[in-house]
Structures are given as C-alpha cells and as structure tokens.
Amino acid sequence: MKAAYRLIVSMSLLLLTACSQNQPVKESQLALMKTTNPTPLSTERKNNSDRVEDIKRDVSSLPELYDVAVIKGEKDTLVVYKVKHMKRFKMKTIEKNLNKKLEENHPKENFTVSSDYKIFLEAVRLNERMKSGRLSHSKAEKRLEEIVKMTEDMK
C-alpha cells in the first residue's frame, strides 16, 4: 500500500515538473522581484533613441535608484524608477532632485516622474508589447497617455 502511494506521489511530481519546463517567463512578471533594466522606448514615429537613452543615463546616475524605465511619447516622457530599500525614507527629496536634474538637462521635455511599482509594471508591459510588435505606434501612444493619466491621478 505504501509503495503504491509513493509511486503515485512521485509520478504526479514528475508530471508536474515536466509540464512547466520550457515556458518563457516574461520580464514583467519578474519586474518586482529583480532588476529588469528595460531599454528606453519611444512611441513616436521618428526615432529619438539617443535623446531617450540620455534621459535614462541621467536618471540611472542617481545612486538611490536601481531600476529605471523611460518611455517617450509625442507629448510626455514617462520616467519610472525603483528606489533602493533603505533610501525609501527620502522619497520626496529623491523625486525633487530627479525632477530638477531632468529639467536642467532636458528643458524642452515634459516629464512625468513616478516611483510607483504599478506604474513601473505597466511601463515594462508596454515596453514588451512594443518590442514584440503586438502594439502599433498609435495604440502605444494611447496606452502611454493612459499610464500618464493614472500617474497624475495617484498624486
């Protein structure tokens, strides 16, 4: 009886582990647990990748931050970041310094800055969809505007 029970349990465990073998894990599913470091993205039709990468480089240079996502749209530029755990006590000053640095280095841009995890996840998902080609430029721009509106509603 015990041998049959052990055989059934071991076969079910073997079956369960075999079923989950070659499934890719999306970056957005792991975004809260590890550093994803998504590439900067522009929803505009003209390619401004140099400017977007400069923005990401400026934001990433702050020592309090460990993960940054930048998405540039036609009107707004969304900058979302994660703050190191022990630096979270200074969130207001970090955001103030970040806004000041961005306005000094890129005065013509209109920035929306957020440290919210939900906004970060939405930005990573938008980035994944744009890279995979499942989202057109116009739909990506519309989704970016929704994320920016969500950010403004949270403040």
What pLDDT does 100 receive? Answer: 93
User: What's the pLDDT tens digit per position in 51-63?
Assistant: 888 888 888 888 8
Its pTM stands at: 0.73
The string of pLDDT tens digits covering residues 41-50 is 676 666 667 7
Reported as half-sphere exposure (CB side, CA atoms, 13 A), residue 105 has a value of: 17
Q: What is the largest CA-CA distance in the chain?
A: 76
Residues 3-36 pLDDT 10s = 888 889 888 887 777 666 555 555 555 555 666 6
Q: What is the CA radius of gyration of the chain?
A: 20
How far is Cα 97 from Cα 117, in angstroms, rounded to an integer? 20
Inside any domain, residue 23 = no
Question: By C-alpha distance, which of 142, 146, 116, 140 is closest to 126?
Answer: 140
Please indicate, yes or no, if residue 3 is contained in any of the structural domains.
Answer: no
pLDDT over 90 at 132, yes or no: no
**Average pLDDT, rounded, for the chain:** 83
Number of domains the chain is built from: 1
Decide: helix, strand or coil at residue 39: coil
The parent domain of residue 37 ranges over: 28-154
Domain presence at residue 84: yes
Residue 15 placed within a domain: no
